[in-house]
Amino acid sequence: MSSTLQEPKHSASGLHRYVAWSATALGVLLAVLGLILAIGGVYLAALGGSLGYLITGVLLIAAGYLMVRGRIAGFYTYVGAFAFMTIWAFWEVGLSGWQLIPRLVGAVILLVLAILVAPALEPTIGRRGRAIGLLAAGAFVVVLGVLIPIFNQLPAPAQLPNRGADISFEDPAELATGKTLWDRPFGSARRNGPFGMPTFIPLEIGTPNNGGPVVTAGGLIFIAAATDDLIKAIDMTTGEILWSDVLPAGGQATPIVYEEAGKEYVAIMAGGHHFMMTPPGDALIAYALPDAKR
């Protein structure tokens, strides 16, 4: 009989240790991510860039330290960091869904983890905070899921400020009629992801870019510009990506097309961009275009 009564105590004690260990592990993860962001943020700020990464990094380090120490203040500090990251993301890209994904998905996942381990930091407040936090996180995701499609379909004056959407989509138009030929996101996620860490996912999600296209007489668009460090050849009439190549540095420049000895070439300067945090370099790369079929 006594053996039967002691078993739940043993299980409960094991569960408690597991939950406490989870809070410590999450604290270490937050501190490491914060340190990476803070170091990168100091470098970016020294170059005259945004202070956002530095502020986020400091908040994550503080949250991680407090969680490792077993204090509920660590949970509240991360909630504050999440609020800052959300406001910063909205300020940068408005309600552009594809651009919000790499900025907020990781932050939301960490928020859910912080909510789940809150009871290990403070049993009474943590359990209540977990219930409220899960409801709030769910409501946040649902509200974004409703508002993003609505705002993205409204005319531009009715949308929230979006400083990047107009350069993250390609929408060529006929000069005579103004009719849009096609419209698609520009820039893949291969070098973008939560907290600025690359996901290596080759999906065209639409990323910030800086640089223009060049169009050949045969109807090919050559463009790099995006933060994925790729130069691409795009069919001007369909928008299909026909070819791409990885550049040794950021391609924030406009390609040129020239002819030499009857052969056509496209060239681009891959020098990177400190504010967009693409790799720096000094490469000038030229590609020979195939001869026209006769």
Assess if residue 158 is contained within a domain. Answer: no
The mean per-residue pLDDT over the stretch 158-163 comes to 39
Strand ranges inside 148-199, DSSP E = 169-170, 184-185, 188-189
Same domain, 50 and 145: yes
Give the tens place of pLDDT for each residue, 20-35: 688 889 999 999 999 9
Cβ neighbours of residue 111 under 8 Å, at least 6 residues apart? 78, 79, 82, 133, 137
Q: Which of 56-70, 76-90, 176-190, 258-272 has the lowest mean pLDDT?
A: 176-190
Assess if residue 19 is contained within a domain. Answer: yes
Same domain, 70 and 16: yes
Assess if residue 122 is contained within a domain. Answer: yes
Same domain, 12 and 129: yes
Report residue 197 as tokens.
């860490």
Q: What pTM was computed for the model?
A: 0.51
195 pLDDT more than 70: no
Mean pLDDT: which of 50-59, 87-96, 221-230 is highest? 221-230
Report residue 207 as tokens.
């990323």
Question: What are residue 258's DSSP bridge partners?
Answer: 265
Report residue 55 as tokens.
């502020």
Look at residue 16 in the predicted model and tell me its pLDDT.
55
Same domain, 253 and 217: yes
Look at residue 208 in the predicted model and tell me its pLDDT.
80
Domain encompassing residue 248: 168-288
Round to whole Å and give the CA distance between 157 and 248: 39
Look at residue 189 in the predicted model and tell me its pLDDT.
78
Asked if 267 and 284 touch (Cβ cutoff 8 Å), the reply is yes
Same domain, 124 and 24: yes
Asked if 243 and 275 touch (Cβ cutoff 8 Å), the reply is no
Provide the domain count of the chain: 2
Assess if residue 294 is contained within a domain. Answer: no
Domain harbouring 284, CATH code: 2.40.128.630
Give the tens place of pLDDT for each residue, 114-144: 888 887 777 766 566 666 766 776 677 666 6
